[in-house]
Chains A and B, each alone.
Chain A
Amino acid sequence: MTRLPVLKTYKLYIGGKFPRSESGRSYPVSSPSGVVNAAQGSRKDVRDAVVAARAAFGGWSRATAYNRGQVLYRVAELLEGRRAEFGRLAPDVDEAIDRWVWYAGWTDKIAQVAGNANPVAGPYFNLSVPEPTGVVGILAPQSSPLLGLVSVLAPAILTGNTAVVIASESSPLAAVALAEVLATSDVPGGVVNIVTGRTAELAPPLAGHLDVNALDLAGAPVDLAASLEGLAAENLKRVVRRADPEPDWTAEPALDRVLAFTETKTVWHPIGV
């Protein structure tokens, strides 16, 4: 007797749940097993994702840096266990896992690098510390569905930001698989939200949303990048501009994307007499 294979429904990842698109739409994408239908998100899905990200921000940003590091490292452990599955969806799986571990290690070290005890002319301690910016909208790289995604997502959330990710339009399945890993890890629901669909449709409402504090335009379409920056200016979002040509995601990682989504808080504290 032949067995009927159980096919997967590819859905969005919002607030720790896997809803279908509010619009009910889907769109065809290619996968190793042929053409499959991914959820085609709408601007309302983007809105719901931002609400979920905002709700998760308090808890995630208040968690200790050490705890965030543990939680993110756990994600790498789970990725390792699903290497074969990810290997079918994207190249560079090992690099992506290593990249995730590299960023996870930075959670409790970034303050030592980006913070400082400032010398001041008075009886005060003067300390500068990096703090998360808030909700970060991320247009994931279009051509590198897993390594590129990890390289923009992990640096954003490690400092305590929460993220709304628009996955690569043509190859979103690695992002959906990553969502499944995140859902079974200890990352609280809403810290990462992943919407699949047409980037040109989803990016403008994300860029114009007044409750989003920063925007990573890594995967923005060339002809939209400028207008997205314009929309982001409305509430002075921090913006990482679209790089041309697209960065080599296999290159050695750096801290620029971590620091792009932090704010520096400086505290003056009187020195006891």
Chain B
Amino acid sequence: MTATAPPPYSDVTRSEASLRRFLHGLPGVDQVGAEARAAMLGTRSIKTTAKAWALDLAIRMIDLTTLEGADTPGKVRALCAKGRHPGPGSPPVAAICVYGDMVPTAVDALRGSGVHVAAVATAFPSGRAALDVKLADTRHAVADGADEIDMVIDRGAFLSGRHQQVYDEIVAVKDACGGAHLKVILETGELSTYDNVRRASWLAMLAGADFIKTSTGKVSPAATLPVTLVMLEAVRDFRDATGRQVGMKPAGGIRTAKDAIKYLVLVNETTGEDWLSPDWFRFGASSLLNDLLMQRDKLATGHYSGPDYVTLD
């Protein structure tokens, strides 16, 4: 691959050895400290008008997702309709996230709404396919109209130390994306340590990721607060060093409005307000939206709402 990382890291990606030296030279993550800080920030109490603002922001940040073998065009259309108009007075979501073959259906259903279409590609969720298959997968989704691509890294290569291969693959997929935004899924549940999460984050950003994303949602644990903290620190430090801002997307396991607000607090305290926007922070979620809508109802009416008053997805 010819692409090089942005300065001052242009030298880093010259060879496998220099890449390894750089990634393993990143400071280690203080596991206890990261978990304690994430837990402490999770205790912040967000109420009344701040809560109303946070709920609407969280809705605007959702990549409303359906990634099931049983997905049908009808289900995708229903999800798109919900994404455009989640509830009375509610803003639309950021994007609808589907498998590649559902992109034309989603594009059709979202035309004119401003809601993006995100497609998972590169042999999602395992990433176990030849590179040309992954690239064809990506090109197909982009040609069908997806404006965001969620790719998975080759965890097998990463864990066995073949960083260059992972880097080259991300660069190649980024190239295949053309104008579409590229989100790189690290699948942190399979990376074992926070140090690996930090390394994979930097690797993805060096290779040109527009977003880094925690998980596919198919592996447990999916997104957690400490993992998100480590990744947010990486995007913050990356912008400080290179001037390029990269977005962050926790995905999987975020089901309640309370969880979502904890993430927003984490973003504000780690990277600052620059990331408190759907352009730079997203939630990969499906059932989260219903809980946000119920909480929104509660604030508006004063009565606790219930699952009878939102759609079954």
By a beta-carbon cutoff of 8 Å, the part of chain A in contact with chain B is 47, 50, 54, 205, 208-212, 231, 234
Contact = CB atoms under 8 A, between A and B. Distances in A.
Interface of B: 302-309
B302 A208 contact: yes
Contact of B308 (A47, A205, A210, A234): A210
A209 B307 contact: no
Interface of A is mostly: helix
Nearest to A134: B308
B302 A210 contact: no
Nearest to B304: A209
Contacts of B303: 205, 208-210, 231, 234
Contacts of A212: 306
Contacts of B305: 210-211
A47 B306 CA distance: 10
A209 B297 CA distance: 11
B23 to A, nearest CB: 44
A236 to B, nearest CB: 11
Contacts of B307: 54, 211
Contacts of A50: 304, 306
A211 B302 contact: no
Nearest to B297: A210
A216 B307 CA distance: 22
Chain A CB count within 10 A is highest, among B305, B306, B307, for B306
22 contacts: A47-B304, A50-B304, A50-B306, A54-B306, A205-B303, A205-B304, A208-B302, A208-B303, A208-B304, A209-B303, A209-B304, A209-B306, A210-B305, A210-B306, A210-B308, A211-B305, A211-B306, A211-B307, A211-B308, A212-B306, A231-B303, A234-B303
A211 B307 CA distance: 7
Contacts of A234: 303
Contacts of A210: 303-306, 308-309
Nearest to A231: B303
Given A50-B306, A205-B303, 16 more contacts: A47-B304, A50-B304, A54-B306, A54-B307, A205-B304, A208-B302, A209-B306, A210-B309, A211-B304, A211-B305, A211-B306, A211-B307, A211-B308, A212-B306, A231-B303, A234-B303
